[in-house]
Amino acid sequence: MKMVFPGINQVFDCENGEEVWSLVIENQNLFYGILSDIRGQIEGIEGKVVLSEKNNLVSVAKTVELLIQFVPFEINQKQLITKVISKLGQIAVDEMHYGRTMELLGEIESYFTELAFELTGNIEFTKLGAEGLLKAAGVQFCDDYEQLGEKIIDYMELVLEYDREKLFIFVNLRSYISDAQMKEFLETALARGYQMLLLESCEHPLLPREKRYIVDADLCEIW
């Protein structure tokens, strides 16, 4: 995917699997404006940031994953859990599992009905089904990580598996991960073919697989 930002001349081609673009914007107004534009488009507001894939315009809202908060970094995003529950629900009623699912639902309904006899009124359980039970079970991904980079890599994998291919934009991620861990993070992400862009407000040491572009405080653009 390729991204173009208002006020910046460079086109950022994130399809190259050899390097990762990092865009350092030292001008606060431009930094804020670009982030506001991307966030606005994700929320359904028209903007000036343009994203394309194979020379065709694509939706920023559907194709960009903007990651700003890293403390805490929440791997169990609502949209992912919803998609997992939906897939589990489909598996529960497929040819292999349908009989067992219906048997269990019947047993649960009978038990709930027994419980309801203890109360006044004719009580029904209108949402008793595979997906309803999965939601009640509190489905979530394991969230036990020692390093932030490992957690983000797994999150990216989950997004591609349960949602779609996206461009991951990380905002000031270098402030949360050491240079050594960041180097490992980039190597792993590139090896897996993830498309990403590092958006930073200040410079950090240049990493081996990083391709940097700077917009300084005076809006001068520097390679």
Per residue in 58-84, pLDDT (tens digit) is 999 999 999 999 999 999 999 999 999
Share the mean pLDDT of the chain.
95
Cis peptide before 72 (omega within 30 of 0): yes
Strand partners, 53: 56
By the 10 Å C-beta count (0-12 exposed, 13-18 middle, 19+ buried), 130 is classed as: buried
Q: Which residues of 182-191 are buried (b: 16+ CB within 10 A; e: fewer)?
A: bbbbbeebbe
Residue pLDDT, tens place only, 152-164:
999 999 999 999 9
Q: Cβ–Cβ contacts within 10 Å for residue 196, how many?
A: 23
How far apart are alpha carbons 209 and 184 in whole angstroms? 10
Q: What is the mean pLDDT of residues 38-61?
A: 96
Residue 176 structure tokens: 């949360």
Q: Which residues contact 24 (CB under 8 A, 6 or more apart)?
A: 200, 201, 202, 203, 212, 213, 214, 215
Residue pLDDT, tens place only, 178-199:
999 999 999 999 999 999 999 9
Residue 16 has pLDDT above 80, yes or no: no
**Residue 100: half-sphere exposure toward Cβ, Cα within 13 Å:** 7
| pLDDT value at residue 125 | 87
| pLDDT value at residue 127 | 79
To the nearest whole percent, how much of the chain has pLDDT over 70? Answer: 100
| pLDDT value at residue 124 | 87
| Nearest in space to 58 (alpha carbons), one of 96, 4, 108 | 4
Strands (E) in 8-143, as ranges, are: 11-13, 20-25, 50-53, 56-57, 64-67
| Nearest in space to 31 (alpha carbons), one of 174, 201, 203, 168 | 201
| pLDDT value at residue 33 | 97
Q: Which residues of 97-110 are buried (b: 16+ CB within 10 A; e: fewer)?
A: eeeebeeebeeeee
223 or 3, greater pLDDT: 3
Q: What is the mean pLDDT of residues 27-51?
A: 97
Q: What is the mean pLDDT of residues 23-42?
A: 98
In this structure, are strands 2-4 and 11-13 parallel, antiparallel, or unpaired?
Answer: antiparallel
| pLDDT value at residue 126 | 83
| Nearest in space to 20 (alpha carbons), one of 169, 197, 172, 156 | 197
* Residue 44: band (very low, low, confident or very high) from pLDDT cuts 50, 70, 90: very high
Q: Cβ–Cβ contacts within 10 Å for residue 140, how many?
A: 11
| Nearest in space to 221 (alpha carbons), one of 12, 88, 1, 23 | 23
Residue pLDDT, tens place only, 98-130:
999 999 999 999 999 999 999 999 998 887 899
